[in-house]
Structure formats: C-alpha cells, structure tokens
Structure 1
C-alpha cells in the first residue's frame, strides 16, 4: 500500500507545472472536449509508466541490493534537484490535430512523457519497492490527479496553484527517500525498516 500512496503523492506533486500538465491545459483550450483528452492521458500514462515500471523492476535483477540501494538513493536525490527546475513546453508537442482529439492526446502525452521526470520517477519507484502494479497504478493515479483538473478547469486553476511550493514539497519527498535509502543501504542494522530489499 505504501508503494501506491508514495507513488501517487510524488507524481501528483511533481506533475504540477510539468510540461505534460501544460500540454493538458493547451489541449483542453484547443479542443474543449474533456472526455477524449482525459482518456488519451490515461492510456498514454498507463503505457508509458507501465514500460518505465517494467524497466525499474528489471533493473533490480542486474545488481545486488547494496549497489541498487546506492544507485536509488542517489537517483532520488537527483530527482529532488530536477523537480526544482522549471519545465519548458514546446508548442509543437500539441500540434498533432489531424489525428483526432483522443489520438492527438495519446500520441502527444506519450511522447512528452518520454524521459520526463515522472517517467524517471516511475523507474526508480518500481526498483525501490519491487511492486510493479502498485507503483504503476500510483504514478498513473498521480498523473490523473494533476491533469484531470487541468483539463476540466483549465486556466481558472492554473494561476492559483503555488507551483514553486508544490515542487518544493515534491523535491523534499524525493530527497527524504534518497537519504533514507542511502542510510538504510550503508547502515542496515540501524535502519532495517527502511532497507532496500
């Protein structure tokens, strides 16, 4: 259950002001049909995060638990720093209108999410928790928590969200996960309840 909750929270917070949320705002303003946009976001996220989660689960088979713990600890700290860097959005990501609303959203979101911080977070969380389904369900739910209101309410909420504060909270969570993972790896006898296993 903690894998689902942490995955949901981290991705929902990290997604605020992210380029894919900006894409959701643009698609909603352009097409004014929320249902196919929301369905496109859902399917694209499930495909993208399912792939990322599978990579994370596979990576755990490549290294022993101590090495993996060190890699994950450093990765979470790097994610904390990355979360504090504002995203830039390329309008070209939203210019696929000849495919129809659902397909435009599906393709645009899948492409925009490639290499994005929420995809990288999904890889790291799947490796950390070794719980593919709860992590992918959590990261997908987090994406929907951040993007469905963006599609439904658009610019009415865009200027009311304290993006820097939200990113600060997400970065803090990543940093705590990173430090806790490193401590559990280096001093397992003291932090056995946090240990990577």
Structure 2
C-alpha cells in the first residue's frame, strides 16, 4: 500500500502541474482565503478520486495485469501529449470565483468537482488504480493533487507571472513520458508472449 501511495502521489502531482485546476486554484486564491480554497479542493478531489479508484479497480479485475500495464503506459504517453498541449481557463471558469453567493468552500468544492470530471488527473487515477492498491492510490492521488494545487496557490500568487508556463508543461510531460515508457517496456513482453 505504501508504494501505491508514493507512486500515486508523485504521478498525480506531476499530472496536476500546469493543469487548469491549478489556474482555477490561483483564481480562487485571489478571492478567498487560502484555507477555504484548500478545503474545497480537498473535498472535491477526495470525491472524484474515490470514484476514479472504483472505476480503475473494476477495470483492473476485468483485464489481465499485463494488458492493463500496456494500456496504462499508453495512457501516460497520452497524458504527456495532453500536458504539452496545456489547459486554458474559459472566461466562465475565470470568473467563477467572483460570485460570492454562499460559502466560499462550497463554491470552490463544486467548481473543482466539475473541473476534475474527465480531467487527466481523474483518468490518471483510474489508470493507477488498475495496477496499484486501491486505498494507497486513493489517498496518494488526493494528496498529490492537493499538494500541487497548494503549490499553485502559494507559488502562483508570488511568482506565477515570472515562471515560464512552457517549462512547467514540458517538464511534466517529460515525466509522463518516462512513466509511460517504463510501463510499456515492462508490460509489452508479457502481452506479446
């Protein structure tokens, strides 16, 4: 379980770098207190990643370990391409934080929950859950995302305008390529046998 936690934390942290959720976190941090934003992110992430792990465990029980490893490697290579392409906030997403109706935590929770549905971090969590222990994956993926978004809040507010977006995107993509190639190389011989 500890290795699942470590792998999931690292993979989702990397997946979240340069993601639109980080942009959303920075936007909300400009309007609400940091603890409110972090709490909303944590609640939304916990729920989305629980569903992702459930989906991954279901898929993992239907397909062979070797085939899932190959599919996971291909998915990580896809995540690398997605990361290089980058995410952008729409005007509606950018302005979501300006509505002060209701609780700030509730607003952030709902916005993050909706933003994460079908996002690469959700899909990465599904992929990891097909290969790793479910509880370690759930906790690790949640921790990885919350830490990455906390970093976005802290660093983004102070240095965001000085950090080159391309460097962050390409660094994260390179790590996805490494994870993906490792999974493909590890699984391909067993699938072809």
The answer to whether the Cα contact below 8 Å between 2:14 and 2:175 also exists between their aligned partners in 1 is no
Which of the residues 78, 92, 112 maps onto 2:115? 112
Q: Give how far 1:2 is off.
A: 2.8
The answer to whether the Cα contact below 8 Å between 1:150 and 1:157 also exists between their aligned partners in 2 is no
- Secondary structure at the counterpart of residue 89 of structure 2: coil
2:11 aligned residue? 10
Structure 1: segments with no counterpart, 5+ residues: 189-197
- Secondary structure at the counterpart of residue 68 of structure 2: helix
2:184 aligned residue? 182
TM-score (norm 1): 0.84
Post-superposition CA distance 1:25-65 (Å, at most 9, x none)? 1111122x122211111111110111111111110112223
Which of the residues 172, 175, 181 maps onto 1:173? 175
CA distance 1:12–1:163, change in 2 (3 Å): farther
Higher mean displacement: 68-77 or 54-63: 68-77
Q: Give how far 1:133 is off.
A: 1.4
Higher mean displacement: 115-124 or 167-176: 167-176
- Alpha-carbon distance in 1 for matches of 2:100, 2:118: 23
Q: Give how far 1:71 is off.
A: 1.7
2:60 aligned residue? 60
CA distance 1:4–1:164, change in 2 (3 Å): farther
Aligned residue pair count: 186
1:37 aligned residue? 37
Higher mean displacement: 167-176 or 53-62: 167-176
The 5 A counterparts of 1:65-144 are 65-93=65-93, 94=96, 97-129=100-132, 131-144=133-146
1:192 aligned residue? none
Higher mean displacement: 174-183 or 54-63: 174-183
CA distance 1:142–1:157, change in 2 (3 Å): farther
- Secondary structure at the counterpart of residue 84 of structure 1: helix
Q: CA RMSD in A?
A: 1.9
Structure 2: segments with no counterpart, 5+ residues: none
Structure showing the higher helix proportion among its residues: 2
- Secondary structure at the counterpart of residue 82 of structure 2: helix
- Alpha-carbon distance in 1 for matches of 2:143, 2:153: 15
CA distance 1:66–1:9, change in 2 (3 Å): closer
TM-score (norm 2): 0.86
- Alpha-carbon distance in 2 for matches of 1:182, 1:154: 34
